[in-house]
Amino acid sequence: MLMTKKLAIFLFLVASACTTAAPTKGIIAKNPAPTIAPPNQEAALVRNLLITLQRRSIAQGVEFCGFVGTDRTGRLVLSEPVRGDQASCRPRAPQNIQIITASYHTHGGYSPDYLGELPSPEDVAGDREMGINGYVSTPGGRFWFIDSAAGQLMQICGFGCLPNDARFQRGGDGPIAASYSFATLIRRHAG
Ligand SMILES: [Zn+2]
C-alpha cells in the first residue's frame, strides 16, 4: 500500500486497516523466526513473480498483492495475485497455502503524490499484525524485504533490479537507505 507524502503521518495514526490484514479463515499464520536476511528460496520465488507483476502494475497504475508460504506437502508456493487499486490491495485468503510466511505486493506506477520507493508504515504494521514477513516492489524497481520479527526492512536489491517505471527518476523520492528499522521508516515517511 502506498502512502501520500503529505498525509503519511496522519494516515498512519488513524489507519486501523492495512493492505495485508488477516484474511478471515483458512489461514494458519506462522510467527517467523528472527532473521537478518530474507530466506533465499522464498525471496527468489517472489522475485520471479514480481518481475511479471511489475510490468502489469506499472502499465495499469495499480497494486497487485498476495501471499507466499507452504502447501500441505511443505512445498513453497505463491498465491494467485489479486489486483488492487492505485494505492491499496487486499489479498484474498489463499486456498493453496497452508502456512503463510510472507505477503507480497507491488506499488504500481510512479506518482509524484506518493512515496512509492519505500514500504509504508501500514505495510509493516499489516505484516506484523499477521506475524508474517513481507516483500514489496516499487515503481523504481526496488525489491524490499520486511522482517517482522526483527523489526527491520531491507532492500534485497536496489533501483532498477526489477522492471521499473521510466517516468520515475532515480532520486525522485529523496534518499532511500538500504535498510530501516520500523521506527526509522516511520520517521522517514514523516519527512
Ligand atoms: Zn505498500
Dump pLDDT digits (tens) for 113-162. Answer: 889 999 999 999 999 999 999 999 999 999 999 999 999 999 999 999 99
Ligand 1 centroid – CA 107 distance (Å): 6
Instruction: Tell me the whole-structure pTM to 2 decimals.
Output: 0.84
Does 23 score more than 70 pLDDT?
Answer: no
Ligand 1 centroid – CA 18 distance (Å): 9
Ligand 1 centroid – CA 145 distance (Å): 12
d(CA 54, CA 18): 21
d(CA 111, CA 40): 31
Average pLDDT over residues 33-50: 84
Query: What's the pLDDT score for residue 27?
Result: 53
Average pLDDT over residues 93-121: 95
Domain chopping of the chain, boundaries:
27-190
Ligand 1 centroid – CA 73 distance (Å): 30
Ligand 1 centroid – CA 125 distance (Å): 11
Ligand 1 centroid – CA 75 distance (Å): 27
Residues 67, 68, 70: CA angle, nearest 5 degrees: 130
64 Cβ contact partners less than 8 Å away, ≥ 6 residues apart:
53, 56, 57, 81, 82, 83, 84, 89, 105, 106
Ligand 1 centroid – CA 27 distance (Å): 21
Ligand 1 centroid – CA 19 distance (Å): 7
